Structures are given as structure tokens and as C-alpha cells.
Structure 1
Amino acid sequence: MALPVSLIATFCNLIAFLAAEGGYSSVSLTVGYVGQMTGHMFPILLNIYLATYVASTRRLPKAAAISCSLAVFFIVSQKWNLISPVIPLPNNFALSLLSAYITCIVIGYIKQVRYFSLSDFNSVVDNSANMIMICILSLGSVLSFFFIAELFFEAYILPLVQLPSLDPSSFYDGLLYEFIRGVLWSVGVNGHNVLHMFKTELYDITVANMADWHNFGTELNIISTNFYDFYTGMGGSGNTISLVLCMLFFSKNKNYRMLAKAVLILSLFNINEPVLFGVPVIFNPIMIVPFLLVPLSSFLLAYGATYIGLIPPLSVVQSWIVPPVISGYLATEGSLVTPLFQIALIAFGMALYYPFFRFMDKRSTGLDLSSIFNNRFFNDEEIQTRSRLTSFIPSLQSNLEAQKEVESLQSNGSFVLHYQPQVDVNTQDVVGFEVLIRYQTKDGKIKPPYFLKSFSQLGLMPELDFWVIDHAVKAAAPYANSPGFCISINVSPETVLTKGFVKSLKRIVAQSELSFEQVEIEITEELLVKDEAKTAKIINELQALGLSVALDDFGTGYSSLAYLSRFDFDKIKIDRSLVLNLDTERGKSLFGVVVQLSRITNAQILVEGIETDKDLAFIAELGVRYVQGYYYYRPMSLEALEADGIILSSVNRVSSEGELG
């Protein structure tokens, strides 16, 4: 949503310029003011977006994060004289981002203090009081930090980093000016505003020099006010028209191509804020390199070409908004060599930008990044938040399809839980149920979890897993006293490694009708590979609570056989893919080896995917006692399980006992 704001502002500025050129001064003033007002909203929106995003990823209260970061941004801007003189609003991109990030970090630390915790289990009054205290402490802490930083900067840093006095006509000072301007833009500071005195002085020198040239034949200076506009600022600072053309012609990411098409007209008029924030270039260590290198190289080439007489010096002052090629023609009073030289500079810039952009383009095709999800799925407000943020930066827009799929799930149906019984082969008794998430469309059709990849891509597996856990233990309440009743829940690696996972799981189970011994957590080999030390600690904590831990899908994926000796699992679930190969001798031999390896751990062994008598007979020969599969039961709802007499609720159990009595 922020990118359109930048586009609106820049289009308004363009229309204002064209209206002024056409003699419509009143239209120009009105539209120009709208453009300025809209443009000045951009740092504020950026502050809100970053605060919202950090709050989402760190699970902070968004109201506190947004209000505090905005307050800090305005207060510090006022104190540091960073309020725009044109529109009385803060207008510093770097401070916008910094204030939001630091505020969220401080809120995160304060929220960890037990006295200020926010929980659904607290009363509204307690949560409100804690929220107010979090805001007060956060504001006080962050403002104190900024004011102390100001004192330190003024006392120790400022005397050392005074901007040098630059000679506008000097080759070396011109090169330094271009470098400083690029560095400032790369961290979100408007280099034109900071160095406006240099450009103002250069403009006066240029006008006087060109007047002397026309009147007295004085030699024209090589460096003029338009020298930077027409050679190092084509498309905007950094010669970003070269970057736009790179995106347009060479990008494999459709989002980059869409961005290029949207901003091309603006780049032709040397307006590049949408590019700087859309790619992004600002705060991007990859793109900052060519962003600095291209204009510096163009400066050297243009200066050298003018010095040796390859192109004539600029002899007429033109507006910075005149498009490249046309600008060279007009500024040299009809020279055809200068426009051709500008085209060559643009092509040269594309060659420099290309390898860096290619790296960004490759990253964007597989970059993972997401919530106002309603209670039909889970009670969280992060999906639309992160999803909208992903559309702010095209390098994160590769998640767009995943976002659309998740949003479609919201409007077209709801999640439901099904349970697949696990059976003791010896007694034919049901000994547990694996909880499986399904999607039910509005017309009642049940679909498998095809959406898991999208949730994972958007970083939403923790929310989805906790929704499953919470609903599973609550739905199981009527069956908690059934003999041998136990549910097994598969949890993704992202969720297990989430900070506070064990604590959250403990709270959910403790507040349910189930005991810890009635809940089993299934993890995969992928988790063991991701973080062995942390996983071992989490497994021990779960088992200390009384929860069982099962290794799911054993025999596939990473083939981490060594991990069997390092972790104490309560159950090992052999994957269905090994059962599918039992029709060959090699498959049977391999399956037997996997069973033997599993027995070394002294854990229960359960085989998934049993569907035929032949499969069951072979499993029984190996002495495997527990199975799960269509041979016995398909996944069903709890109501269907109860209707088939597979489990009894507390009400039906009392009724049955009454009949027997």
C-alpha cells in the first residue's frame, strides 16, 4: 500500500510541472501541493508499516508498537529540527525506520517482564493497564535513548564529521558531492536537501557562466547544474533509469517487471522514489553498490568526454525533470552527439546494475516472508498485515500466490479437524488418534491440507499449528476419560523452534480436560537437522511435562539415522512410502532394517499407511504392534468416530454403563 502513495505523489509532481509549463499556474499549485502532502505521508506510512511488521514477527501488541513508534518519530523529528518546512510533517526516512525498529525492540523487552505480560487469560482491565504501562515505559526509554544519542553525537561525532566545503566547479569536489549524495540516499536521507547549498551555488555559477558565454564567448564550465541531472541523475539519483530497464528486460520475476512498467514513465521524468523503495535500493547492501558505482562512473565518463571534446559542454539550463536524451539535445542547443552519449551511459549503467540485480532477482523467486485472519481459522491478526507488507517490496512479492490462496481459504470455507485411529494389531483396540487438519468448503466438501506450503511460505505455520493444538485439546474434552484415549498432533519445525513453544503448549494442555499423558507431539527429521541442541532441550522439556514425543515420517527426508542414538523418542512412526515398496524383496529387506534400527531406541514403533491384508501380515511377522492406515480406519471427525462406536463421549459412556446396570 505504501508504493501507490509514492506513485501518487510523484505523478502529482509530474502533472504540476507539465501544468506549469503549459501556463496553468493555479492547477500547478493545487496539484503540486497535493503531491507534496502525499509525498510527506510516505515516511509516516513507512514508520507504521515497519512497526506493524516487527510487531507481527515478534508477537508484540500492535497498538502499542504503532502508537509509540509514531510518537517517537514526531517528537524526535521536532527536537532534531527534521520537520519539513514545506509541509509541517516529519520527513526523514532513516529516522522513520530507526524509531519504529528501536521502539519495537524496547517493547519486546518490556513485554517479557512478568508484570507487564499480555494474555488472553488476563482480564480486560489487567491487559489495558499493562498496555498503558508498556507504552509509557517504552516511550520514556526510547526518547531517553534518542536524546542521549543526540548529546553524544553533538559532543563527540559532529565535530569530526562536518560536511566538507565543496567547490561546485571542481572535478574532485564534484565527484565527492555525487558520492555523498548517493550515500545519503542509500540510507533514506534526501541527499538533494542535505546538499542543497552546493546545488544552489552551482546553479548561480552556471547561470552566470552561460550568460558570459553567450555575451562574451567565455569558455563554458564542464560541470554545471544540469551536469548531474543529465549525466548522473537520469531516471533520478543513481541513474536508476538503467535499473528500471534492467528490471523491464531481464527480470524473471513478474513483480519486478510490473514495478518497472509502473515506474517507467516516472523514470523518464527523473523521478525515482518508487524505485528506491520498491526494489528496494535504500538499506539494501546488494543494490547500494551499483547505486553508488553507476553515477560515479557516469560522472567520470561524462567529464572525460566533455574534456576531450567528444561531447559539447551544456550551454542551456533546463529543468531537471526533462527526460533523458531530450535533455541532452536541448541543453546543448541541438547537438545529436550528446543524446547518443546519454543512451550509451544508460546502457553502461544497465551493464553495471545487471549482475547485482540478477542476484536480487534470483533471491526474490524463493524468498519467504504474511495476518487479519478471522476466528474461522485462528484468532490472530497477522496474515493481512504481513501479506500487505509483502506487496510493498517486490523482492518479497514472490509470496503473492501463497497470500491469494490463504485469503481464498478465508472466504470459501473453514478448517476442520479429522482424527485417524491408531490400532494395536494384537488386541485390535484403538490406542490413539492422529489429529489431521482438513479444509471444508462452503458446500461441505472435505479437502486435504494442500495449503500447508502456502502457510509455510508466509511464515504462518506457528499460528496454524497452535490453532490445531488449541482446537484439538478443546474438542477432545468429552472423551478425556475414555480408557486409553490419546491424541497425536504433528507440529512443524518452525513452530517447535518458536520462542516459548513449550510454555504455550503447557498452558493450552493444562487448561484443557486432557492430561499431559494423553497428548503426543509428532516432530519430523527436518527439525533434528535444523537445530539439534535446541531440539534436544525442547524434547526433554516436553517429556518432563508428561507429553510423549514421536518421530514422524522416519525413513524419509534427511535419513538422519545417527539422530536415533541422540534423542529419546517415545514413538517412531515409519513412513508410508516404505510400505508402498513391500511388493519387492528389496523393499521388504529395507523395511526390516528400518524396523530393527527403530527397535534399538526402545521406543514404540508405529507403521503408517497400512491398507491391505498383505501389508498387515508382513508387519505382524516383524513383530510391529501398532499401525495406522486405511486398512482399519480413514481419518474422520470426532462425531463420526463416536457414531461408529470407536470412541464414547462422557455422556454416551454414562448412558452405556446405565444400560449395563
Structure 2
Amino acid sequence: MTISIRFNNSYKLFLESVFNKNNARSYLYDLSSIALLLLPITLANALAMLLGHGLNIIHYGELAKLFFHLSNLLINIYPLSFCIISAYYFSHKTNTSSVIVIIYSVVMLYLVSLETDSLSVAYYLPNNPLLALLSALLTFAYCARFNVQLTEPQSLDFATKLAKQVLHLFVFVCVALILSKFSAESINFLSQQISTVEPDPLTFTGGLVYQTLLGLLGAIGINGHNMLFATKQQLFAATELNVAAWHAGEASLNVISQGFYDAFMSMGGSGNSISLLLCILLFSKTRNHIMLALAALPLVIFNINEVLLFGLPIIFNPVMIIPFVTVPLVSFIITYACIASGLVSPVENIVNWMTPPLFSGYVAMGNNIEGALLQLFIIGVGVFIYRPFYQEFAGKYSVHFKSVAQYTSMEQTMFKNLLDGVRSSAATSINKSSAQQRLANMLRDGGLVMHYQMLQSVSDKKICSFEALIRYKNAAGKLYPPTFIGDFQLLNAMPMLDKAVIEQVLADMQQMPLSSERRVAINISVASIEQPDFVDHLLSRLQHYQISPQWLEIEITEEAILSDNVHLSRTMEALQSQGIKVAMDDFGTGYASFPHLLKYPFDKVKIDRSLLLDAVTDKGRALYPLVAQIGEIANCKIVAEGVETDQEYEFVANSGVDIVQGFLIARPQPLEDVLEALRAE
């Protein structure tokens, strides 16, 4: 007998989960935990950069280049990692297949990055964290909407599912390509609109416009320096000419220059993020934010602020965007006023954009301490500008997490959920793999066989019926109980097992002397009962084997009652209309109640042996007859399961049951023994 395994996955709709107002706020806040998961990359990058600068100072240039190469590689890996972890996050939140979402997200990220020219030249890796986040979000929307399922090579319908997934992927790639083209056109349009402004960064007014544009673009995750590349080239060229002329004694230094912006407008990264970081460390009472700031510190020192941008987050955050744009403008005005008034010297040098704050001010003003002091003053002003906005944001953050029980601590937020998800996913995969291997070995070394246990009427012992019970027999002929059923359930393969059982039992029934009084009962799982084509399939197999429906009985567990009321009722009515009896198995094991039972027209109810074992107490002995009386109320036969002794038989018979099943009457037997016993009657 060949048993095939089917895997099924279900997905929640994206619009119901992501765009719910409370969920969207939760997702926004949980980006900070995603940033923490990327902490090893950020810290390794900071370490490589620090070693590179240190080796340059002691004149080990070649070795320094190696560490700078490593640092650049880690920087370029960050957006791709951000995409993967965000994709996993969205799928984990709603039980969508993580594998599918991650793969599709990476595909979309590369397509969009190619079209928008957002691949790093050296490594051909996506270098835009915003595109990484949006790719994960849009991919999840697609996968949830169109119910993309993971294929399993061992499933019976592997070829069909594979074809569907190929089609899904093809459609998805087409959609991603259209979105990437749209993104490229949108960026080009935005660039053209910005270019019409043509700010002159060397003037006070033009400089403010230029810095405002940089801030606004950064606030939505776009590198403004790339968008305003032509303006930056103009600024850099003008600065070099002015510095050369100053060294030649032909001109004085301009107040505004490339070094002016690099040293005083981007300390800690865009938005003078070092002020925000210090604000969090000094005034935050939120553990999650403090951990985030500590994680971002090694990179912010070298003016890389992606961890804060996407971790706090700043992008798309209406509260934090205000100081993010304002602080550099205030810094611009302060620096301009100090230099123009002669309070400090003009900027003499163009510093590397990764030069740490304070040291960059010292170098920019010709190794003059007044540059570092000016930077220190500007950083302090920035801290107090950020403070009220950050406290407003942190207050909302705190209230939100207090209102949701699952976020009462850092360990209960995304960080813990993801780790738990990884462990759970890994354990599930291991368990499924083990179950799959056990079943493969079992079916290779033996086979599934059917045994039949007799049920006997209390009023007339000549009236009997049978229950079909599945067993496993190995190659040596040793028989084993159905402990393997748990493996079929784990692999969502119960419908396949039920169909195989139906085939074997109907084939055996052809040899048995049956009637409407002598039926054979088959246990059917909830998974099979819930299938829309179950009744049609069963009737077609009855017709194939030329078995009368009146010779068959279907047993379902209490669990089916709580599954789908309408569907179950229709299934029962369809079966009974053909003369097939329907019995509830294992009543009393804890799923259903008496009101549940009375909703359905069962022909038979089987009382589980656990209630008989409880009859050793006074309460148990009083309860069993009451349960047996359910037959009169529900107009159905009552079967006492698990009767093994004469005392138990006498007790259940006096309690009012109609039929008895158990080792006292008969043990499960192979078909040959059953036929021999029937011939001996």
C-alpha cells in the first residue's frame, strides 16, 4: 500500500494584519528590534573601520586597505541583511511561509536596485536600506494575497505545486519589474524637480535650501547626496579652487565650503545624528532605545547612522523628522555666524566624511582646537533640540507597549519573538523530517494492514458489527499499534491515510457477509471530513467495489464537532441520505459537550473507556448511566468502549448502553480470523 504525504500551509491576508492601525504602529516600533538583530554586522563594521584608521596612523597602508575593504563589504551587506530579516519578521508575525517571503523579497530588492542604480559598484550588492524594507513589505503583500505555498518534494502533488509556484514566481517577477520601472521613473522625476531648484550651496540662502533638501530626502530614506550629486560636485570643485587660491595668497577662504558641510552638518551622519544618540543615552528611560543607541554608537562615531534611521526609526516618523531636518539647519546658522563674524577661523581642509566628530572639526580648521570646540557646542545644542521631540516619541512608544501585554519588556518584543520563531521553526522542521524518515522506513520495510474488532449488541448477542482498525506489520510479520498516526498528522497527511484505509477496508468488505445490521465502521479524521469532495469520493469508491452504503459506518471524533458546524452538518446529511451511518467516537475525552452533541443527528455515540475507568468512584459510577442516557435524548445508539471484564460488562449493561466493544467481546483480528469466526456461527 502506498501512502502519499501532502503538506498544506495557510496564510493570513496582508491587509488584515499589516494595515491595521495598531499593528502598523507595532511594526514601526519593532524596526528597532530588527536593527538589534543586525548588531553583529554593525559592530564588526565599526571594528574593521577602527583598525583601518589605526593602521593608517602607524603607516601600515596596505593592511589598512584590507580592513577598509572589509568594512565596505559589511556596509554593503547591511541592506541585504535588513531585507532578509524584515521579510522574516513580516512573515513570522502572520504565520506566512518565511522561506517564500525571504526569497521573493531578495528578488524584488535586486530588481528594484538594478533599475534605480542602487547597487554598489564594487560589490554589486543593494546599498539602500529603504528599498530593502519596502521590498520585504511589498513582497509579503503579494505572497499573502495570492497564497503562495511552499513545495515539498515528498508530497503527492509536488509537480502540481511546483508548477503553481513557478507561475507565481513568474508573475511576481513581472510585478516586481513593473514596480522597479515605476520606482526608477519616480526617482528620475524627483531628481528633475529638485534640479529645477538649483540651490547655490556657497550662499547663505542657497545653503539653507541645499541642507533642507538633504534633510528631507534623508528623512524618507533617500541618500540626498546621490540625488544632489551635481550640486555636490559643483560645491567640491568650487572649494578646491578656493583653497588653492587661498594657499597661493590670491583669495580669502569662503565662509561656506565642502569642509563646512562635512565637518559641521553631518556629525554622526545626516541630521547630526550624534546629537540624537547622546540625547537617547542621556535622557531615555526606554531600555530598548538605550540598547539601540549603544548598538549604533560604533558606527555613529564614523558618521554612519543607518541603525538609528531604520532602528529608532527616523524615516517616515512624523515626530522625529522635525528635529532631524532642523538640527543641521541650526548648525548651519551657528557655524556661518561664528565664521562670518570672525569668532572662529574659516574651514581650511576638506575632511573625509568618515572622520569622527571633534577630530574632524580640529582637522577642518587647520588643526585648530576651536573647530573641535565649535563642534562640541553644536552637538550640545542639537541634543536639546532633539530632546523634546524624542521624549514625545518615546512617550508614545512607552504607552503603546504598556497597552499591549506581549510587549511589556524587551524580551517580549520582536527580538524574543524572532528567536523563538527560529527555534520553533527549526524544531518543527526537524520533527517533520524525522516523521518523514520514519514513515519512509516503515513503508519500505513493511506495510499497513487492517484488523477488525467486533461490537456486540447487549439485547441480542447474535447481532454484531465491526470496527476497522489500522496496524503496521513489519517484514518479519511483527504487528505494531497505530503509533505512526501521529507522524501522518504532523505531516498533514491524514487525508491520504484515510483514502488508503477506505480502499483496503472496502476491498475486505467484499469478502464479508454484511447487512444493514452487520456493518463495518471506518475511523475518518477531521482533516478528511473537512474536505469538500469527501462524500463524493467515498460514494465513488463504494460504487467501484460494489459495496452497499448501508453496510458502512463512518466514525468521527468529538474534535470534528468544534471544527466547522455547517460543513459537518452537510457532510453528515449527505452520508445519511445514502444509508451510511455516522457515529461519534471517543465521547467524553474533553472536546464536545452535550449541547454540541444534540446539534448533530448522530446514529451512534461511543463512550470512551476513560469514563468507565472513572467508574471506580461513587461520582464516576453515577455519571456513567447519565452519559448513557444521552441515547434516549439524542435518539441514537450508545456504545460502551473498552469493556474488558465481566464486572465492567454487567455495569455498562445495567447503565443502559446498547452495544459493547472491548477485549471481553473480541480483540482486533485480521480479516482471515474474522471470516473464520463468522463461518463458525
TM-score range, shorter chain: 0.5 to 0.7
Offset, 1:331: 2.9
Query: What is the identity, as a one-letter code, of the residue corresponding to 2:286?
Result: N
Query: What is the identity, as a one-letter code, of the residue corresponding to 1:24?
Result: Y
- Specify every segment of 5 or more residues in structure 1 that has no aligned partner in the other structure, as ranges: 370-386, 415-469, 475-505, 521-540, 547-603, 605-637
What's 1:142 paired with?
Answer: 176
Structure 2 vs 1, CA of residues 327 and 98 (structure 1 numbering), >3 Å: closer, same or farther?
A: closer
Structure 2 vs 1, CA of residues 150 and 201 (structure 1 numbering), >3 Å: closer, same or farther?
A: closer
What's 1:96 paired with?
Answer: 132
Is 1:13 paired with 2:46? no
What's 1:286 paired with?
Answer: 319
What's 2:521 paired with?
Answer: none
What's 1:534 paired with?
Answer: none
Q: CA deviation digits over 1:241-271, x for unaligned, max 9?
A: 1111111111112232233334334433333
Offset, 1:84: 1.6
What's 1:601 paired with?
Answer: none
What's 1:60 paired with?
Answer: 96
- How far apart, in 2, do the equivalents of 1:120 and 1:650 lie? 44
Offset, 1:349: 0.8
What's 1:644 paired with?
Answer: 614
What's 1:316 paired with?
Answer: 349
Q: CA deviation digits over 1:321-347, x for unaligned, max 9?
A: 333333333433465544333222111
- How far apart, in 2, do the equivalents of 1:398 and 1:128 lie? 37
Name the SS for the 1:321 alignment partner: coil
What's 1:165 paired with?
Answer: 198
Structure 2 vs 1, CA of residues 167 and 159 (structure 1 numbering), >3 Å: closer, same or farther?
A: closer
Is 1:350 paired with 2:383? yes
Offset, 1:175: 1.8
Name the SS for the 1:513 alignment partner: strand
What's 1:513 paired with?
Answer: 556
Query: What is the identity, as a one-letter code, of the residue corresponding to 2:257?
Result: S
1:364/1:398 contact within 8 Å kept: no
2:87/2:140 contact within 8 Å kept: yes
Offset, 1:118: 8.8
- Specify every segment of 5 or more residues in structure 2 that has no aligned partner in the other structure, as ranges: 1-36, 429-489, 495-525, 532-554, 570-594, 596-607, 625-638, 654-681
- How far apart, in 2, do the equivalents of 1:17 and 1:171 lie? 34
1:367/1:396 contact within 8 Å kept: no
What's 1:233 paired with?
Answer: 266
Structure 2 vs 1, CA of residues 253 and 518 (structure 1 numbering), >3 Å: closer, same or farther?
A: same
What's 1:49 paired with?
Answer: 85
1:465-614 equivalence runs, <5 A: 510=530, 513-514=556-557, 519=562
Offset, 1:362: 3.0
Query: What is the identity, as a one-letter code, of the residue corresponding to 2:73?
Result: M
- How far apart, in 2, do the equivalents of 1:641 and 1:310 lie? 93
- How far apart, in 1, do the equivalents of 2:261 and 2:322 lie? 19
Is 1:246 paired with 2:261? no
- How far apart, in 2, do the equivalents of 1:640 and 1:306 lie? 90
Name the SS for the 2:556 alignment partner: coil
Query: What is the identity, as a one-letter code, of the residue corresponding to 1:329?
Result: Y
Is 1:301 paired with 2:334? yes
Is 1:198 paired with 2:231? yes
Q: CA deviation digits over 1:182-233, x for unaligned, max 9?
A: 2232232333333344334323322332333343263221112221122211
- How far apart, in 1, do the equivalents of 2:420 and 2:86 lie? 22
Moved more, 102-111 or 124-133: 124-133
Q: CA deviation digits over 1:543-589, x for unaligned, max 9?
A: 9978xxxxxxxxxxxxxxxxxxxxxxxxxxxxxxxxxxxxxxxxxxx
Query: What is the identity, as a one-letter code, of the residue corresponding to 1:226?
Result: G
How many aligned residue pairs are there?
440
- How far apart, in 1, do the equivalents of 2:419 and 2:191 lie? 52
Structure 2 vs 1, CA of residues 252 and 400 (structure 1 numbering), >3 Å: closer, same or farther?
A: farther
2:97/2:150 contact within 8 Å kept: no
Structure 2 vs 1, CA of residues 28 and 79 (structure 1 numbering), >3 Å: closer, same or farther?
A: same
2:115/2:184 contact within 8 Å kept: no
Structure 2 vs 1, CA of residues 171 and 63 (structure 1 numbering), >3 Å: closer, same or farther?
A: same
Is 1:78 paired with 2:114? yes
1:436-455 equivalence runs, <5 A: none
Structure 2 vs 1, CA of residues 643 and 400 (structure 1 numbering), >3 Å: closer, same or farther?
A: farther
Query: Which of structures 1 and 2 has the larger relative contact order (alpha carbons within 8 angstroms, sep 6+)?
Result: 2
Offset, 1:77: 2.4
Structure 2 vs 1, CA of residues 76 and 16 (structure 1 numbering), >3 Å: closer, same or farther?
A: same
1:183/1:292 contact within 8 Å kept: yes
Offset, 1:284: 2.9
Offset, 1:400: 7.0
Is 1:399 paired with 2:442? no
- How far apart, in 2, do the equivalents of 1:334 and 1:54 lie? 49
- How far apart, in 1, do the equivalents of 2:193 and 2:134 lie? 23
Query: What is the identity, as a one-letter code, of the residue corresponding to 1:644?
Result: D
2:262/2:350 contact within 8 Å kept: no
Offset, 1:303: 1.2
Offset, 1:43: 1.4
- How far apart, in 2, do the equivalents of 1:175 and 1:359 lie? 27
Structure 2 vs 1, CA of residues 410 and 351 (structure 1 numbering), >3 Å: closer, same or farther?
A: same
Offset, 1:288: 2.0
2:288/2:410 contact within 8 Å kept: no
What's 2:373 paired with?
Answer: 340
2:91/2:98 contact within 8 Å kept: yes
Structure 2 vs 1, CA of residues 308 and 258 (structure 1 numbering), >3 Å: closer, same or farther?
A: same
